[in-house]
Amino acid sequence: MSEDNEKTNDAYVEMEATKLTCDVLCSLIASSGGSNGENGSMDSSDKATKTSKRSCPKQLQLPLFLSKTYHMIDKCDQDVACWSESGDNFVVKDVDKFSCTVLPLYFKHSNFSSFARQLNFYGFRKLRSEAILTSELDPRTADYIRFYHEHFQRGKPQLLSNIKRATKAEQHSKDDLESLKQEVLSLREELQGVKSEYNRKITELSNPSVP
């Protein structure tokens, strides 16, 4: 009996989460002020929830992971994680604090690697620091981790419906590509080391020490 109740409860939570996703997204698109709806009255909230599934376009009923991630970044302490200045990517500034205090509020774990892997499944890219470095870069930002997806942007939740989860075949291809990229980077570093050693030898031969 308890197992049946647990299954029923899980199904109810999933259903409510889907409707909430749709409600929040529709209200954001309608420029309702950007609030998460928590300050509204109980009656109006219940009414919106009951009517949402009829009024909200089906394509806007997003995967729960995308919905949670969007609102998590939108509401997070900016010292821990936030949108970039341009709003076209988001930054995790403190991975440890983000994992321990933020992830558990939205997901059933505190595993940053698992979160990053899910982002990868949905086509997010981890931006390499070289792509965003400037001559005035603060060294304290060196440990920041940035994620980018063209349809994941601040203030534009309507774009989220364009984000699709990769199929197994696509994911394998992406994994293979990432592996090749890492291999190329490793070879480049090795080649640079060989070049440095070669130049050092040439310098020694060109300028022999006098006994």
Q: Can you spell out the DSSP letters for 111-169?
A: -HHHHHHHHHHTT-EEEPGGGT--TT--GGGTT-EEEE-TT--TT-GGGGGG--PPPHH
Count of domains forming the chain: 3
- Are 88 and 119 within one domain? yes
pLDDT of residue 43: 40
> Which one of 9, 39, 61 terminates a domain?
61
One-letter amino acid at 121 equals F
- Are 174 and 200 within one domain? yes
- Are 161 and 197 within one domain? no
Helix or strand or coil: residue 94?
coil
pLDDT of residue 33: 43
pTM: 0.55
- Are 76 and 147 within one domain? yes
Strand arrangement, sheet containing 125-127: 81-83, 89-92, 145-148, 125-127
Judged by phi (left if over 0) then psi (alpha if -120 to 50, else beta), residue 37 lies in: left
pLDDT profile of the chain (211 residues), mean per 10: 47 44 55 38 40 49 88 93 95 95 93 93 81 54 90 92 78 62 78 85 76 56
One-letter amino acid at 180 equals L
> Which one of 61, 85, 113 terminates a domain?
61
- Are 176 and 100 within one domain? no
pLDDT of residue 79: 94
- Are 204 and 161 within one domain? no
pLDDT of residue 28: 53
pLDDT of residue 26: 57
pLDDT of residue 111: 94
One-letter amino acid at 38 equals E
pLDDT of residue 66: 92
- Are 66 and 87 within one domain? yes
- Are 148 and 66 within one domain? yes
> Which one of 30, 61, 92 terminates a domain?
61
CATH number, domain with residue 109: 1.10.10.10
Residue 16 sits in which domain range?
Answer: 1-61
- Are 68 and 158 within one domain? yes
- Are 103 and 175 within one domain? no
- Are 157 and 68 within one domain? yes
Question: In whole angstroms, what is the distance from residue 29 CA to residue 136 CA?
Answer: 37
- Are 69 and 158 within one domain? yes
